[in-house]
Structure 1
Amino acid sequence: MKTLIAAALASATLVLSSGIALAQDKTIRMGFFPGPYADQFERGIRPILEEKGFAVESIEFSNAIQPNTALIDGDLDANVFQNDGWMNQFNEQYKGDLVAYLHIPSAPLGLYSNKVTSVEGIEEGMSIAVPNDPTNLGRALAFLQELDLITVKEGVEPTRATENDIADNPKNLEIVPLDAPQIMRAMADVDVAAALGNHVISSGNLLSQSFSLEKPALQYQITVVGRDANANSEWAEALVEAYKSDAFRAFVESDPKTIGFSTPDHWQ
């Protein structure tokens, strides 16, 4: 009898363990910054994944390093907040193995101002706030160069360019590097703000308030990021399929909050 009870308990434990493992396999743990990409996921992606039988956990971070370290440590399965340039810089600095699973609709960098309404209205000596992190500082400078406001030295890697790499500044513009999330709050202190779209939206403003929006290069588009070892897992494939789905595209194209977003190549 004791032998039969022990066997039954062992069998029950095995079934319970298998059930727990299955539940864990069906749970996707996602990391975000508070803002449009977390909102997009909650309203446009979570329903698709839950319909496929996945449980979803969302965690929001306030520090730009934490979502990636949590991913490497195994506390997250994927995150959505960064572009290729930021991810590559993180991998290089922290010996990471993160890869981009898919580029998604992205809020572009743009120029905002309480004082001017066009690029032509930017006058001699005006100040322009730009993000101070290496990836987005170079991105902002490249955008200002596209608008013929400055010229960056030849041969400088775009993701590594700083204000010291400006070769020509015909209007003697004052370039003011600031923490990216603070730029929209500094609008009263500068003439123009070169602000990242997600921070614009998080501050309660709209992309349509910009008088000039970039068309972000592939390296600046927001990506779904995970570890290389998990790229072909069932949950990763389901996550990518959800972002590529017609249902999500219809959601984005009908959402007033995404007016002005760039669209990924797979939607062309």
Structure 2
Amino acid sequence: MRKWLTAVALILVVGVLTACGSSKTGGQQANTSKDIKIGATAGPYSDMVTKAIKPGLEKLGYTVKVVEFSDYIQPNKALNNGDIQANLFQHTIYLENFAKENKMDLTALISVPTAPMGIYSKKYKSLNEVNAGATVSIPNDPTNAARAFNTLQDKGLLKIKKDADPLKVSEKDIVENPKKLVFKPLEAGQLPRSVDSVDLAAVPGNFALAAKMNLLDALALENMLDPYRNIVAVTTANANSQFAKDIKSVIQSPEFEKVIDTEFKGFGKPTWMKK
């Protein structure tokens, strides 16, 4: 009898511990529910979730809620805490740095079409018209400044040394500047307004769209490197979950690309979509 009671007690203890373990919430536990929340910054990427991703998931039986954020910090915190199951607002470089600095275990699931940086001007109608000494406003943060210099090189306005890391290019990597362009670093949010006061403005796509600028009005659009393209992120614990696989399948579907082609004109497609 005593042995039997001991065995029952052990079973109860194991059951309680198992229940406690399974009741944990947050990003470190794999999600198996058909009810999911996807976070995105308000604007084109919440629109992309709503118009191009959510319908495909609903066809697979999911109930999807789109949660909008107004900054670049809360979406990852909400993901890590388990308040949302995926988010779409950042590129791989930002995700990796943010996760490392905040000790989060987050994973890039798949890249999506992204609004590219554009070179805008109210003075010129073509980059061929650019005069010597023209002023160019560029982002003052290193990551986006590198994108601006790469784009200007792609369009033949300057030359960067061959051994420069394209993700870290700075003004000191320029070896040829035949037009003697003068660079004016500005906060990214000020770049759309700077179009009125400079000869050329290198404006990241998300800030251009927020300022109601048309991507196709740019004199040139960035040939974006894949690490700069926005990605759907999930917690690493959920990277191989069924809902993560279903998100990927929806984004890789012809229906998704059709919505991109009609609703998100000017967005640059990632390499995997061009194959």
Q: TM-score, normalised by structure 1?
A: 0.82
Report the secondary structure of 1:158's partner residue. coil
Distance 1:135 1:65, change over 3 A: farther
Q: How does 1:143-182 map to 2 (within 5 A)?
A: 143-182=151-190
Moved more, 26-35 or 149-158: 149-158
Aligned position for 1:11: none
Classify 1:97/1:105 alpha carbon distance in 2 versus 1 (closer, same or farther; 3 Å). same
Match of 1:143, SS state, is helix
User: Does 2:219 correspond to 1:217?
Assistant: no
Q: In structure 2, what is the equivalent of residue 100 of structure 1?
A: 108
Aligned to 1:266: 272
Question: What per-residue deviation string (whole Å, max 9, x for no partner) do you get for residues 138-158 of structure 1?
Answer: 111111122232333454433
**1:238 equivalenced with 2:242 (yes/no):** no
Contact 2:32/2:243, CA 8 A, preserved across alignment: no
- Alpha-carbon distance in structure 1 between the residues aligned to 2:60 and 2:160: 49
Q: Distance in 2 between matches of 1:95 and 1:250?
A: 38
Seen in structure 2, the aligned counterparts of structure 1 residues 27 and 182 have a Cα distance that, compared at 3 Å, is farther
Computing the radius of gyration from Cα coordinates, the structure with the larger value is 2
Q: How does 1:14-163 map to 2 (within 5 A)?
A: 25-163=33-171
Q: TM-score, structure 2 length as denominator?
A: 0.80
Counterpart Cα distance in 2 of 1:72 and 1:155: 37
The residue number in structure 2 matching 1:183 is 191
RMSD: 2.5
Code of the residue aligned with 2:251 in structure 1: it is: Y
The percent of aligned pairs where both chains have the same amino acid is 37
Work out which of the residue numbers 194, 199, 214 in structure 2 matches 1:206.
214
Distance in 1 between residues matched to 2:53 and 2:131, nearest whole Å: 44
Unaligned runs of at least 5 residues, structure 2: 1-22, 24-30
SS at match of 2:167: helix
Question: CA distance change for structure 1 residues 113 and 71 in 2, over 3 Å: closer, same or farther?
Answer: same
Q: Alignment length, in residue pairs?
A: 247
**Offset of residue 164 of structure 1:** 4.2
Q: Distance in 2 between matches of 1:212 and 1:173?
A: 16
User: Any conservation in 1 of the 2:117–2:204 contact (CA below 8 Å)?
Assistant: yes
- Residue 217 to residue 171, structure 1, CA distance change in 2 (3 Å): same
Provide structure 1 residue ranges, at least 5 long, that are not aligned to the other structure.
1-17
The offset of 1:184, in angstroms, is 1.1
Distance change (3 Å), C-alpha of 1:226 and 1:179: farther
User: Matched residues in 1 for 2:175 and 2:190: separation?
Assistant: 27
- Seen in structure 2, the aligned counterparts of structure 1 residues 266 and 152 have a Cα distance that, compared at 3 Å, is closer
1:24 CA displacement: 8.1
Q: For residues 28 and 182 of structure 1, do their structure 2 counterparts lie closer, same or farther at Cα, with a shift above 3 Å needed?
A: farther
C-alpha deviation, 1:215, in angstroms = 2.0
Does the 8 A contact of 1:110 with 1:195 survive in 2? yes
8 Å contact kept, 1:32–1:60: yes
For 2:7, the equivalent position in structure 1 comes to: none
